[in-house]
Amino acid sequence: MTAAPNRREAKKAATRRSVQEHALRLFLAHGYDATTVEQIATAAGVSHMTFFRHFPTKESVVDTDDYDPMLAELIRTRPATEDPVTAIHHAATTGLAAILPADREALLIRSRLILETPALRARQADNEHATRVLLADALTARAGLAAPSFTLEVLAAASLAALTTAVTTWTRRGGDADLVALVNEAFRVLHEAPR
């Protein structure tokens, strides 16, 4: 059986996936805090060291998402004539359209856990900090500036706040609502706020 030349990588990826699945399952069943890393590792048939080699922290099993680079890329390719908030808005809806069909359920489960668990909320909030910087940088690059201006930082922060509010509301409603519609609504509010 001449295995594909990546049997090792495959095994590693399988282990990682297994750990993550068991973790989410146990979190949902018994709660995040009541589930120990040791239990997750045992359930997945590995040692706790393997857990930490795949996930730097217990929290990271839940709130790692890899959407940031895509979002940044989408922003950079928006036409220069668009104002910054609209650029983020359209980049977000485009990205969501690409993500939702496959990731909807996973996104919802993770969002729910994050909303319910203080430790995860905190970590997620710090992730948002990184996303904020990323958004500001993307806007900066799109505008051809060297360094982000205060204005772009405020707009990036406000846009991300609108986006997050939409996702939060969607999650609280059990994922029944149309997420893209909520995002559109949030940005409409942002645009019309001052009037």
Partner DNA sequence: ATAACATGTGTTAGTGGCTAACATTCAGGA
Partner DNA sequence: TCCTGAATGTTAGCCACTAACACATGTTAT
Instruction: Give me the residues that bind a copy of itself (CB under 8 A), please.
Output: 83-85, 118, 121-123, 125-126, 128-129, 150-151, 153-155, 157-158, 160-162, 164-166, 169, 182, 185-186, 189-195
Measured distance CA(153)–CA(133) in Å, rounded: 8
Using CB under 7 A as the criterion, what x/- string covers residues 39-78 for binding DNA?
--x---xxxxxx-xxx-xxxx-------------------
**Encoded tokens for 167:** 């996702």
Q: Is 31 in the site for DNA (CB under 7 A)?
A: no
Binding segment (CB under 7 A) for DNA, from list 30-38, 89-97, 129-137, 168-176? 30-38
H helical segments located in 45-194: 48-54, 60-63, 68-76, 84-116, 118-142, 150-172, 179-192
Measured distance CA(60)–CA(5) in Å, rounded: 29
Minimum CB separation of residue 117 from DNA in Å reads 12
Minimum CB separation of residue 32 from a copy of itself in Å reads 14
Residue 186 contact, options a copy of itself, DNA, none, Cβ 5-8 Å cut-off depending on partner type = a copy of itself
Measured distance CA(90)–CA(16) in Å, rounded: 33
- Who's near 179: CB < 8 A, 6+ residues apart? 96, 100, 166, 167, 170
> By the criterion CB under 7 A, which residues form the site for DNA?
3-9, 11-12, 15, 35-38, 41, 45-50, 52-54, 56-59
